[in-house]
Amino acid sequence: MQQPYPLVPIARIHTDFPEKFGIPRQSGLVPDLEAAILFEPSFRNPDALRGLEGFSHLWLIWQFSTVVEAGADGEHWRPTVRPPRLGGNTRMGVFATRSPFRPNAIGLSCVELREIRLHTDQGPLLRVAGADLLDGTPIYDIKPYLPYVDAHPEARGGFAEASEDYALALDFPPALLDRVPAEKRAALQGVLANDPRPAYQKDPGREYGMSFAGLRVRFRVRDGVLTVTGVEEEDDNRDGGHRP
């Protein structure tokens, strides 16, 4: 039997998230989040993007790279996981979830295509919105979203439909919001309103810290309200996650 070709990254995505904490739980939850996709040298041929301008959304097939580094592979997979949507306390079959801890650490995200730049100093560049990926995540493939086959309004959402609502009211003092670049404010507010805390952490007295676009954002949550308590530049300012 012929051996399959090995998977190789064709691109990497550059986002505002240098750490996993704070990344939206699903793609599309925060449409104001923008990211840039840059292709690896072997795939910087503008011809590969011919016709892509006719599509509004894309599928990204990518790797949970930090999970792979931690040793979660086909030999160390678990048949059940604890989905955040169920509070992190109930086990479900891994194939009924989108957990990164699976036999192959492959992710799938639907993003909005906002811009195609064919000629930059680093080759072709795609600007997308609504991504739920860590900065530098390797992408294995890009496919167009086809509404006539990919959209199923009648589909059932299983246990995810009946689970907890993560929406929070947001108290962002104007003096702290002014420390956030104007073009990043809507995205950051969307991330915070979707409750970036781990599902099993609900301590109202705890202060959380999140890295976003070169900033360290601190906050507390009590009675359904997230209050921002601090916004500071990080010592290793990443300039928006190294986004081009």
The CATH number of whichever domain residue 88 belongs to comes to 2.40.30.70
pTM for this one?
0.88
Tokens of 240: 């928006």
Which residue bears the tokens 């009648």?
Answer: 154
Please state, in angstroms and rounded to a whole number, the distance separating the CA atoms of residues 240 and 109. Answer: 21
CB 220 within 8 A of CB 192: no
What domain range includes position 218?
164-242
User: Same domain for 21 and 116?
Assistant: yes
User: Same domain for 119 and 23?
Assistant: yes
- Predicted pLDDT at 43: 97
**Is the alpha carbon torsion for 29, 94, 63, 72 positive or negative?**
positive
Query: How would you class 41 by CB atoms within 10 Å of its CB: exposed for 0-12, middle for 13-18, buried for 19 or more?
Result: exposed
User: How many CB atoms within 10 Å of residue 24?
Assistant: 20
pLDDT range class, residue 241, cuts 50, 70, 90: very low
Q: What is the pLDDT of residues 25-47, one digit of tens each?
A: 889 999 999 999 999 999 999 99
User: Same domain for 90 and 119?
Assistant: yes
User: Same domain for 140 and 197?
Assistant: no
| Tally of domains within the chain | 2
Please state, in angstroms and rounded to a whole number, the distance separating the CA atoms of residues 43 and 139. Answer: 12
- Predicted pLDDT at 200: 72
- Point out the domain boundary residue: 115, 150, 185: 150
